[in-house]
Amino acid sequence: MLARRPFASRDSLLEASDAVCAKLSNDQWLAAFAHHPRIGEQRAAATVSETAQRWSEGEQSDATGGDDSLQGRLHEAQRQYEMRFGYIFIICASGRSAAEILGELEARLRNDNHAELRIAAEEQRRITRLRLEKLVGSDEESGA
């Protein structure tokens, strides 16, 4: 992304991000995943900025609701996911409840390794796009 700067517009920034994402290797995706905390947690495995930490907390705010039983099931399903795939469960959690995320997580546990990595990568792309939009503002704010 740095090599592609400057961007002529908000849309060109978002298009460049999607183009870069389309060319990432599995190892690059896994490195990106390490910069996210588990659903319901505040710390990622890798060091992240305070801004990234605040964005994660905000994106997951709906997912931290529900009773202790639901949160316990979500925690256990994440543990199973990590054991099965070797990385944390990645989902664009913004606006999703704990129950919705748990349902998606349980469904994705049935995927094979290749399919799941592709799904997790697409979720990571969606998170990246959401954060870029926060960084540069919406269409309305940018005058587009």
Burial of 122 from C-beta contacts in 10 A (0-12 / 13-18 / 19+): middle
Q: For residues 7 and 13, what is the distance between their CA atoms, to the nearest angstrom?
A: 6
| Residue 35 among the catalytic residues | no
Q: For residues 87 and 50, what is the distance between their CA atoms, to the nearest angstrom?
A: 22
Asked if residues 143 and 115 have their Cβ atoms less than 8 Å apart, the reply is: no
Q: In a 3-state reduction of DSSP, which class is residue 108?
A: helix
Catalytic residue among 35, 36, 75, 114: 36
Asked if residues 87 and 32 have their Cβ atoms less than 8 Å apart, the reply is: no
Active site residues: 36
